[in-house]
Amino acid sequence: AGGAEAVDVCLFDEDGQETRARLPELTHEIWHGFVPGVRPGRRYGFRVHGRWDPWTGARWNPAKLLLDPYARAVDGEFRLPPEVYGHVRDWPDQQVADTVRDDRDSAPFVPKGVVVADDGDRPGDHRPGTPWADTVVYELHVRGFTRLHPDIPPELRGTYAGLAHPAAIAHLVKLGVTAVELLPVHQFAHEDHLLARGLRNHWGYNSIGYFAPHGGYSASGTAGQQVGEFKRMVRALHAAGIEVILDVVYNHTAESGQYGPTLSLKGIDNQRSYRLAPDARRYADFTGCGNTLDTTQPHVLRLITDSLRHWVTEMGVDGFRFDLAAALARSAHGVDMRSPFLAALAQDPVLREVKLIAEPWDIGSGGYQVGAFPPPWAEWNDRYRDAVRDFWRHALPDVREMGYRLSGSSDLYAWGGRGPCASVNFVTAHDGFTLRDLV
């Protein structure tokens, strides 16, 4: 928040009473200070002061309590009443509604970050270390996988503890899978248009807290307990020889576009967190979700890589599948395989050693990049998916296509020095029917 005028740390007691402490120092665009007496379990947020000038992308509004992007745990759920918007959401002229600042306090309506103690538990100490050639990935949803499982206690169903239950793990072992790929478990929010219809975001592709396990999947509580519960789940899966891969959504956040809520980065430093259109009121949207994080900005790149290392070193995970990875590889002029994001991961001594899987496309121009990512990346291979489906329905135009797909897709990956293990072969995933329904 280097362009801001001031930053307040806001501490909340058990009754929701707020105490503010002004951060006194600004060094290298980072506000900092020491607040004594803050113990684990304390809830907090930020208020950031600065210009309100949406025409230049400046959207600072100290009336809005902001979630710490580095919060290790989040307590509470995001609701989206008018008070959580930085602008007057219900302004009569909707064409300019995003330019009118809303000065109502959002604190009663938003979750808070939670101070979490380091318990010293490192579930990654004994990783299965399955080679790529032997890896069989099972994509699953933490809530959906155990929600109706009859052998799991009802109070654990749909939680990290439920996935760690012996009955859930026994099923995975029986299937013969070597890794689970968890659909998004970063703290996420529900979109306004869903809440207005009485619905919720089931899948989780609407992240707002990149360090925090989603509190809604915790059986033990949301005042920091979700962190330990997640670690115990990882440890149980590792003990069964099963790696843990996270489906991560760093391409956009839950703050949507110019008419979206102000929850975190939009209120901290909107101009340098998101890719803005030439008209800086608006956002460059390569994701279809209203905004795109700007990975060419050093502090955004640091946020993402710090988050990734946290999940590897502190939480014990073994790899990542990057949603809309092409959006992360964009530079000023399009998708760039020498982009800062890809370069940062390639040289990182921690991240280059884990499994990195790209969903190699986004919705922008030139976004389809199957076969283009550099080593050590693997990719979801939709050409394999389409060839197998066409074979099943007797619509495959050329048997050579099937030959390439079954032999490792060398036509896609060999030119870049990658072998068959660069191809993550799948027939169906969360984007469509389950395998049982499809077949």
- φ/ψ of 436, rounded to 5, equals -65, -45
Q: How many whole angstroms separate alpha carbon 216 and alpha carbon 70?
A: 18
Tell me the β-bridge partners of 49: 6
- At position 183, the amino acid (one-letter code) is L
Residues 6 or more apart whose CB falls under 8 angstroms from that of 389 comprise 427
Residues 6 or more apart whose CB falls under 8 angstroms from that of 284 comprise 274, 275, 276, 277, 292
**Catalytic residue (one of 359, 362, 382, 398):** 359
Q: How many whole angstroms separate alpha carbon 26 and alpha carbon 50?
A: 14
Is position 359 annotated as part of the catalytic site?
Answer: yes
**Catalytic residue (one of 102, 192, 255, 323):** 323
Residues 6 or more apart whose CB falls under 8 angstroms from that of 260 comprise 85, 192, 254, 266, 290, 291
Is position 323 annotated as part of the catalytic site?
Answer: yes
CB contact at 8 A, 383 and 405 = yes
CB contact at 8 A, 93 and 300 = no
Residues 6 or more apart whose CB falls under 8 angstroms from that of 12 comprise 18, 19, 42, 43, 44, 45, 107, 112
Max intra-chain CA distance, the chain:
69
Catalytic residue annotation: 323, 359
